[in-house]
Structure 1
């Protein structure tokens, strides 16, 4: 489980699968860490060299001075790729990870082969929403955010049916450094990729959660309509679709990349 140094900052990275296989990069959501992919990695690692990392301010990666920007988060993964000697890779990012993926596809398209953008949006206003979450974290820490986040991520029926999974998600959220959460909230607040994504020429798959209240189906459809080579798959899920529909998510990505 190596620590990769990028411009003086440390990033926690985990590698799975054959060293000579095609690379699949995984990028996680706000308030999560690379463990959010635990259900999919055993499947994907049979076919790919799976590289997952904790976003800046999350998990065991650097917690730097805030606010962060999408440019900063994008350059983080370029630095990780360079440090690992990865010239090109497939991409799978969910929510914030999908936003970073869109940045990569517009600023470093030659580094990405096929890309999966799951439960994400090119713009997530208004700014007051994110300023409110930043202030809530300042006042009450991640404890004040954990239950609203769980309710936004998963529908009530799933929360009741999967208590052990919900406990795992709560632990992951509570482990997120407040400063890192706030920094990434600012990056999302200040992001607007609705125009830039029109220039994406890579092959892209949009995974949309049919019951996603955070990045809605309309958000996903806007991205799909803006990218010439975009395809769309809709899963019966809310926001963190790879946890709610682990097998369907894994097979959808594998079928697309294969």
Structure 2
């Protein structure tokens, strides 16, 4: 996969679909990488330019020394889209990526014409929760948080079938410094006031079994944005693109059609 060589950072990204089509940009959850969207990509309209990238500290991107700020993560996304000459994209912000999406939409409305916010919020958790997770990773590596993370992320049915195993493995392979850096960024983020100023089309997608960002939290964030709509996927956890790729692709495609992006 190609690398975007930014002045102080290399970001790993991948582009699928039509080279000159309307752009849709995808982010991933903390501790994972762009492969979480693998099952969704072939289900989306072929006319789209589908761009995925690894956050700093994750996947094939560089791992600067922690801590990171949310401003830095937003700036990474901004510079990547400038590097790729992307304007008027639909930005799919999942989990920590939803915070990036909100920050980027406030800063660069020329780059972002609409949002899909999935399993995210204007503020995710509280600082003490993130400090606790940071301390556990510092003491015991990624394995120290793997089991409770799987329980928060995936539905009981999905875990009972052992389908979370590849994603546990991916989490365990995450560079601890990258996880710690991004955890600091989440801990310091509160976008309630800035997100409430957004007026662009937004689809807020929530999983009924999400233990990280429960549906009421996602709906609360959607309610901040004028022109947003909320959709609940039943029986699905924090990562609908993994548990329910067909339903996720259908929700996104319907939204893109409604706003004239396809």
Q: Which TM class, normalised by the smaller chain length? A: over 0.9
Q: Which runs of 4+ in 1 moved over 6 A?
A: none
Contact 1:34–1:59 (CA under 8 A) maintained in structure 2:
yes
Question: Residues of 1 paired with 2:153 and 2:56: CA distance?
Answer: 21
Question: Residues of 2 paired with 1:18 and 1:125: CA distance?
Answer: 38
Contact 1:11–1:54 (CA under 8 A) maintained in structure 2:
yes
The one of 204, 213, 216 equivalent to 2:214 is: 216
Contact 1:18–1:45 (CA under 8 A) maintained in structure 2:
no
Structure 1: gaps (5+ residues)? none
The one of 194, 197, 200 equivalent to 1:199 is: 197
CA shift, 1:45, in A, is 5.7
Paired residue secondary structure (1:14): strand
Deviations 1:73-131 (A, max 9, x none): 01101111111121231111211111111111111122101210001011123211000
Question: Residues of 2 paired with 1:52 and 1:252: CA distance?
Answer: 18
Question: Residues of 1 paired with 2:45 and 2:174: CA distance?
Answer: 26
Contact 2:28–2:94 (CA under 8 A) maintained in structure 1:
yes
TM-score (norm 1): 0.96
CA shift, 1:19, in A, is 0.4
1:35-184 superposed matches below 5 A: 35-44=35-44, 46-161=46-161, 163=162, 165-184=163-182
Deviations 1:148-172 (A, max 9, x none): 11111112221122x2x32210121
Deviations 1:227-249 (A, max 9, x none): 11100110011211221111101
Contact 1:206–1:233 (CA under 8 A) maintained in structure 2:
yes
Paired residue secondary structure (1:199): coil
TM-score (norm 2): 0.95
Matched, 1:226 2:224: yes
Question: Residues of 2 paired with 1:175 and 1:232: CA distance?
Answer: 33
| Number of residue equivalences | 256
Question: Residues of 2 paired with 1:208 and 1:154: CA distance?
Answer: 13
RMSD: 1.1
The residue number in structure 1 matching 2:247 is 248
Question: Residues of 1 paired with 2:74 and 2:245: CA distance?
Answer: 26
Contact 2:43–2:246 (CA under 8 A) maintained in structure 1:
no
Structure 2: gaps (5+ residues)? 258-262
Contact 1:211–1:238 (CA under 8 A) maintained in structure 2:
yes
Contact 1:16–1:45 (CA under 8 A) maintained in structure 2:
no
The residue number in structure 1 matching 2:22 is 22
Deviations 1:28-54 (A, max 9, x none): 110110000001011226131111000
